[in-house]
Amino acid sequence: MLNKIKGFFSGEHTLEESVQLSLETDKSGEVTTHDLHVATAVILVQVASSDEAIAREEAEAVCGVIEENLGISQELIPSLVETAVAARRQKGKIDDFINLINDRFSTDQRRLLLAMVWKIVLADNKIEKLEERMVIQLRNRLRLTFEDGQQAREMAETNKV
């Protein structure tokens, strides 16, 4: 599975037909859509590939946080990641996904997403300046406070995500 996902990151594999994924709830208690799962995965993929070299630990962290926090089975994760990689390549799509996340997720859920991002950044035991800048920008775009960002990082560092 990991090699397939790394292939999606690098563009070696193409987008296959999307698979309907298991559902969670949004801030209003409604079931989330496939689009919200893709939006979350796009953010995670963006961060994992920010320093050009996707470490094995980062790819594993992406899979782990998706499975654990979105309730998506291991069998469906490659399809979700593949969809996210393809969507990420579309100009302007990142903004659409961040807007969807801001509209549908509560502050606590957005903080959890930022903690998932920190988990990926910390996975290879080194924080590149580019990664740190990306997390700060994402925190701002997710309308989270400095304190929310600190809490998110602490959640990642203490394995609460």
pLDDT tens profile 15-61: 343 332 223 556 666 656 678 888 899 899 888 888 666 778 888 99
Question: Does residue 21 form part of some domain?
Answer: no
pLDDT tens profile 89-146: 776 778 888 998 999 888 999 999 999 999 999 998 888 899 999 999 999 999 999 9
Buried residues in 10-45 as b, exposed as e (16+ CB within 10 A) = eeebeeeeeeebebeebeeeeebeeebbbbbbbbbb
Question: Does residue 115 form part of some domain?
Answer: yes
Residue 10 has pLDDT above 50, yes or no: yes
Q: Which H or E run contains 32?
A: none
Question: Does residue 17 form part of some domain?
Answer: no
Q: Beta partners for 31?
A: 25
Question: Does residue 19 form part of some domain?
Answer: no
Q: Domain of residue 136: give its range.
A: 2-11+29-157
CB 115 within 8 A of CB 160: yes
Question: Does residue 18 form part of some domain?
Answer: no
Q: Write the CATH number for 88.
A: 1.10.3680.10
Question: Does residue 75 form part of some domain?
Answer: yes
Question: Does residue 65 form part of some domain?
Answer: yes
Q: Give the whole-angstrom CA distance, residue 40 versus residue 25.
A: 13
CB 86 within 8 A of CB 127: no
Q: Give the whole-angstrom CA distance, residue 54 versus residue 38.
A: 19
Give the global pTM: 0.78
Q: Say how many residues make up the chain.
A: 161
CB atoms within 10 A of CB 64: 17
Which residues fall within 8 angstroms of residue 117, CB to CB, at 6 or more apart?
Answer: 43, 44, 47, 135, 138, 152
pLDDT at 156: 94
pLDDT at 12: 53
Question: Does residue 59 form part of some domain?
Answer: yes
Number of domains in the chain: 1
Which residues fall within 8 angstroms of residue 84, CB to CB, at 6 or more apart?
Answer: 38, 41, 42, 44, 45
pLDDT at 16: 41
* Alpha helix ranges (H) inside the chain: 2-10, 34-48, 56-70, 77-88, 93-104, 107-122, 129-141, 146-157
